[in-house]
Structure 1
Amino acid sequence: MNKGKIKLGLIGGGPNSFIGIVHRIAAYMGEQYQLVGGVFDIDHASGIAFAEKLELDTSRAYESLEVFIEKELALPADERIEVVSILTPNFLHHSMAMKLVDAGFNVICEKPITITAAEAVELEQLVERKKVVFCLTHTYTGYPMVRQMKAMIAAGAIGKIQKVDAQYYQGWINPFIHDKDKRAQVWRLDPKKSGQSCCFGDIGVHAFNLIEYTTGLEVEKVLADIDTLYPDNPLDVDGTALIRTKDGVKGVICASQIATGEENNISIMVYGDKGGLKWEQENPTYLTYMQEGKPAQIFKPGNPYNAEFAQESTKIAPGHPEGLFDAMGNIYKGTALAIRGEKVREGAFPGVKDGVRGMKFIEAVLESNKQGQAWIEIK
């Protein structure tokens, strides 16, 4: 069992990285991790300057992943970085994760886990062989009220599930998509960097993950209609997917990056024969519980009426809003428990299997659209 703080390394996440700040703050929150070093930037000098700014040992600001692995493995085990967060563009995730896992490092990876489902399965098999901890940062699973939703559904609060509905709407691509030259400069619209999908690969998969996470159901088939908006734009920026679970529950996932005026509007609604639950990320401290013929109830974090899992995921007193940093912090907390070999509650952090499910969902969506909106099985 590990003693002291877990030594953390970052690949990417350096200067001007929004997601890097999110991960660093999340790691600091539970006082479980100590950032030690990493490959902070493609430019080594910039990476060293970043390490100096954070008051880190600049000798552990490495110029490449290969040098990182070589130098860290040469250190005594009690000095070595134990877990590495991969915060690079999508196309680098697979190769970097494979090298780190093969070298015996625990990994925390931004999604998507890989570019293809085949790559995800290959990584899953390596993780199982090497017996390392692998966390995929589906951040929204870390919100206390999402965990409360999961606990209430499992406890039968809404009865037998009969409909699921999730959406993720953004509008950030609007300023670029209508200008051919501008959209050509957006890396998320470049298949070489982003992968097979932009909208569903980036945000639609979050909605999919939330459905499976909160309900415990497994989506079996999808029927999708996606839109690139312009014929010369190679990747989707909008779409809708009908879903069917193995239990026969039907639902819908809507995702868009051209929803004008929307910022980060992800929401999920689950309806059963006894009640319904709905949650919105832009108002994350409110979980609405609805029952036929009764007034709607609002559940909020930090209160003793919440499930134990939700209470464990709350850091401050009721009435003090928690947000994205806190949600990511809960995922880092769960990963720390796993690294230390302690008991980990189911759902404490997304793992490699969630990454595989996500990639298979994305590919099923693309294949359904390609076949003219046919039902495609997620194998």
Structure 2
Amino acid sequence: MSKIKLGILGGGEDSLIGILHRVAASMFDRYEIVGGVFDIEHARSLSFGEKLQLDSKRIYRDLDHLIKEEAQLPENERMQVISVLTPNFLHFPMAKQLLENGYNVICEKPLTTTYEEAKILQKTQEKSGSIFGVTYTYTGYPMVRQMKTMISNGEIGEIQKVDVQYYQGWINPLIHDKEKRSNTWRLDPEKSGISCCIGDIGTHAFNMAEYVTGMRISSILADLNYLYEDNPMDIDGTVLLRFSEKVKGVIRASQIATGEENNFTVKIYGNKGALKWEQENPNYLYLLKEDQPLQVLKPGHSYNSDFSLEGTKLPPGHPEGIFDSMGNIYLGIANAIEKNTKFEGAFPPLAEGLRGMSFIEKTVASHKKGNVWIKMNDK
């Protein structure tokens, strides 16, 4: 079977996210990285492409050059899908141009810097018919997919409470230094959009809450923290959630949780039981039921769903992690490109990125209006 030809925008020498995507694309032997634009400076991009042992002729100066030169190649040699791994403000123009030229797209989150841009992107994708995946990475974990399946099957009953926490501490050393916080791109609205914490990690929590429960959040109330008056971007926040009048929840997100690394925890409580999952210990899914011992489910066992097992690459007892999670998303996109989609929720589509942008804007609006409830219904 011939491999899907993949191009990459961004994700160069010093990019953590670039490594994650390249490793993910190599899993399952479904993609071949053939070129791209890895850095804004062409010399650095060329140097990095050489380290990846790519043909220097396909390390392009910019996106315009890439589109022009790829069109000159025989159709069976051209890039079929391109990953956009650039800072947030470049997601929209790059993804839009790629869709308009017939490419399938894989895009980092947040999808764009505004909800209006995201709506334009959705219309562009609908017109193009291209596959578009947004890398809400954590939905690729086998035990997250097991959680989704168990909730869908009614194993914890009717959902009553949703509690999602995403705590990091990486901004803490920067935020208290005026010069450092002024020179960090994630705290620059021109490059990052209107939100830092909610836009970066709160959107993961929002997506996860809707992904595993299969429900849509109907309204939110937010309280954000900026810490310093000259800092225009939130770095901490709490968001109350209403799925319905009887189903409530909370998202707690922070980048100033001192000492925390990547503490993403998901807890779903039903009237017959509960499920808990922690990103830092991703191979354990905890099932709680009244008057029964705590159960611990792990990946790779036959008791798991087909959806969970499809994304499990190692025998039981062998840890799998975030590279595997992203790899499972790339697998889902590969299946879609080859019209071989197997499972509902195999990758986050553009529509989930659109919902994420709506959540970011409504969260900021709720805070600025005095911490009021705002409906999540899309415009």
Paired residue for 2:138?
A: 140
Deviation at 1:378, TM superposition (A): 1.1
Paired residue for 1:369?
A: 367
Alpha-carbon contact 1:217-1:247 (below 8 Å) kept: no
Alpha-carbon contact 1:170-1:260 (below 8 Å) kept: yes
Structure-to-structure mapping, 1:133-172, within 5 angstroms: 133-172=131-170
Alpha-carbon contact 1:36-1:81 (below 8 Å) kept: yes
Deviation at 1:247, TM superposition (A): 6.6
Paired residue for 1:19?
A: 17
- Range 211-220 or range 247-256, more displaced: 247-256
SS at match of 1:219: coil
In 2, Cα distance between equivalents of 1:343 and 1:181: 49
Q: TM-score w.r.t. structure 2 length? A: 0.98
In 1, Cα distance between equivalents of 2:95 and 2:68: 15
The answer to whether residue 345 in structure 2 is matched with residue 351 in structure 1 is no
Instruction: Map Cα deviations across residues 32-88 of structure 1 (whole Å, 9 max, x no partner).
Output: 000000001111011111111111100000000010011112212101000000000
In 2, Cα distance between equivalents of 1:370 and 1:142: 34
Paired residue for 1:123?
A: 121
Paired residue for 1:203?
A: 201
Amino acid at match of 2:199: G
Aligned residues: 377
- Range 288-297 or range 68-77, more displaced: 68-77
SS at match of 1:317: coil
Alpha-carbon contact 1:167-1:255 (below 8 Å) kept: yes
In 2, Cα distance between equivalents of 1:331 and 1:73: 27
Amino acid at match of 2:292: K
SS at match of 1:30: helix
Paired residue for 1:41?
A: 39
Instruction: Map Cα deviations across residues 132-182 of structure 1 (whole Å, 9 max, x no partner).
Output: 000000000000000000000001110000000001000000111001111
In 2, Cα distance between equivalents of 1:371 and 1:184: 26
Deviation at 1:291, TM superposition (A): 0.3
- Range 336-345 or range 135-144, more displaced: 336-345
SS at match of 1:286: strand
SS at match of 2:272: coil
In 1, Cα distance between equivalents of 2:12 and 2:367: 37
Deviation at 1:185, TM superposition (A): 1.0
In 1, Cα distance between equivalents of 2:279 and 2:121: 30
Instruction: Map Cα deviations across residues 96-140 of structure 1 (whole Å, 9 max, x no partner).
Output: 000000000000000000001111111011111100000000000
Alpha-carbon contact 2:332-2:341 (below 8 Å) kept: no
Amino acid at match of 1:239: G
SS at match of 1:284: strand
Q: Percent identity?
A: 58
Gaps of 5+ in 1: none
Structure-to-structure mapping, 1:12-91, within 5 angstroms: 12-91=10-89
The answer to whether residue 233 in structure 2 is matched with residue 235 in structure 1 is yes
Alpha-carbon contact 2:80-2:104 (below 8 Å) kept: yes
Alpha-carbon contact 1:286-1:299 (below 8 Å) kept: yes
Deviation at 1:248, TM superposition (A): 3.9
In 1, Cα distance between equivalents of 2:65 and 2:16: 25
Alpha-carbon contact 2:169-2:254 (below 8 Å) kept: yes
SS at match of 2:14: coil
- Aligned match for 1:111, one of 89, 105, 109: 109
Change (3 A) 1:80 1:352: same
In 1, Cα distance between equivalents of 2:246 and 2:168: 30
Paired residue for 2:299?
A: 301
Alpha-carbon contact 1:217-1:246 (below 8 Å) kept: no
Amino acid at match of 1:178: H
- Aligned match for 2:177, one of 171, 176, 179: 179
Deviation at 1:343, TM superposition (A): 2.8
Paired residue for 2:251?
A: 253
SS at match of 1:163: strand
Gaps of 5+ in 2: none
SS at match of 1:294: coil
Deviation at 1:344, TM superposition (A): 3.3
Paired residue for 1:215?
A: 213
Amino acid at match of 1:110: E
SS at match of 1:309: helix
Amino acid at match of 1:365: T
Alpha-carbon contact 2:225-2:236 (below 8 Å) kept: yes
